[in-house]
Amino acid sequence: MTEPVIFYMGKIKKDRFWVQGLDGRFFQIDLHTKRVIEDLAHGKTMEDIEKEREVSKEEIFLLCEMLGMNEVTQILLVEESLEKTQRVKGKWVAWGLSFAFVFSVFFLLSFFIKTPVTLVSSLRDQWMVAGLLTLSVIIHEVGHLLVMPRTKNIAMCIQWSGPIPLLSIIHNEAWKLSKGHRMGINIAGFVADFFVGGLVASMGFFFEQLSPWIWTFLIVHLFRMFFSIFPLLPGDGYWILVDLFHQPNLWTNGMAQLKQLKLNWLSCYAFARILFSVIFWFFYAYVLYIWVNLLFNQPFLEGILLFLHPAPLLLFLTCLYQLFAVISWGVMKGKEFLYKNGRTPGHH
C-alpha cells in the first residue's frame, strides 16, 4: 500500500479556505471546492462526487491537476488553524509612523512651494537619478518584506513593467493571513515610497544646490509611486482590490463576465483595464515614434547616443520586455491549441 500524499488546508474567513498544492503553491478555494477535496480524501470515486456535489468530471480533473494529484492518488488532509500574526505592540510604533508621515508631508510641500522647478540635463546626472530611482524601487519592496511574516515561501523576481527595472517580492503564503494583514502588505510599499519622497525632499530643503537632482527624482518617483497603487495595473493596487472585495481571481472572473456580456463591477473592471492598457500602449508607441524620428533625422552617431540616456533606453527595454512576454504567451497558447487538437478524436 502506497503512502498517502499530504495536503495542507486551512480557513481564511467564512466560506473561504486555502489549500497548498504539491508544488508548494497556495490556492484560495470556496466551501464547495473544499467539500470535493474532502470527498477525494475519503476515497470517493469521481462518479460518486459528480452525482453528490453536482460537479462535472472535467472540473474535478482540473482541480486535481491544479493540486498536482491524479485520479488514483491517495491523499491525506491536514487542516491548520489560521495563524494569528504577531503584531508589534506599543504606542511608540504609532507615534513613530505618525511622525514620519507628518515629516514627509511637511518637507514635500515645503520643497514644492519654495523651490523653483529645475531638472538635470547632463548624461551623468540623469544616470545618477536613474540609479537612485532603482534604489527607491528596492526600498519599496523592502517595505512589503518588513510586513510579511518570516517564512521560507518568499521569492523574488526582476522585470520591467515601467520605465525603470522592478524588483517584485512574491509571498506564496499570503492567503493564510488575515485580511487586515494582507492589506498591510499591499500598502506597505506605498508607505515606504512616501517616506523616501519626504526624506529626499528634506535634503533639498537644506541643500538648495541639490534641487535639480531632487526635482528630477521626485517627479519620476511620485509618478511611479501613485502608479504602484493604480488598480488598473497588475501591481499593489490590483491586490488591494482583490483583498478588499474578497476576489482572489479578480482579473480572470472579470474577463469571464465580460466575455458573457454581463454588466457588473467585475466586467466593468476588466473593460476599464483593457481600455487603459490600449491607451498606455498608444502612449508607448507615440513616444517611440518621436524617438525613431529623432534617430533617423540626425546623423547616425548622434542618434545612437540618444539611447545612452536612461529614459529612452529603459523605455525601449520596457517595450522589448513586453513584446517578448506577448510572444511567449502566444507560443504557449499555440502549443496548448496544438496539444488539445492532437488529442481530439478524428485528428491525427
CA dist 321 and 43 (Å) reads 47
Range of the domain at 55: 5-80
Who wins on pLDDT, 68 or 271? Answer: 271
Task: Provide the pLDDT for residue 348.
Answer: 45
Residue 341 lies in a domain: no
Nearest 10 degrees: Cα torsion 224, 27, 158, 320 = -80
Task: Provide the pLDDT for residue 346.
Answer: 44
What is the side-by-side strand order in the sheet with 26-30? 26-30, 16-20, 5-13, 75-80
CA dist 149 and 163 (Å) reads 30
Cell of 172: 506564496
Who wins on pLDDT, 15 or 88? Answer: 15
Per-residue pLDDT reduced to its tens digit, 278-311? 898 888 788 778 877 877 787 777 777 777 888 7
Same domain, 177 and 229: yes
Task: Provide the pLDDT for residue 302.
Answer: 74
Same domain, 132 and 199: yes
Task: Provide the pLDDT for residue 84.
Answer: 44
Same domain, 234 and 113: yes
Residue 304 lies in a domain: no
Residue 137 lies in a domain: yes
Task: Provide the pLDDT for residue 173.
Answer: 62
Count of the separate structural domains present in the chain: 2
Listed in sequence order, the residues at least 6 apart from 298 whose beta carbon sits closer than 8 Å to its beta carbon are none
Per-residue pLDDT reduced to its tens digit, 218-268? 999 998 888 888 999 888 899 899 888 888 778 888 998 899 898 999 999
Count helices and strands (H / E) in the chain: 12, 6
Domain boundary among 176, 209, 242: 242
Closest CA to 255 of 234, 274, 275, 232: 274
Listed in sequence order, the residues at least 6 apart from 265 whose beta carbon sits closer than 8 Å to its beta carbon are none
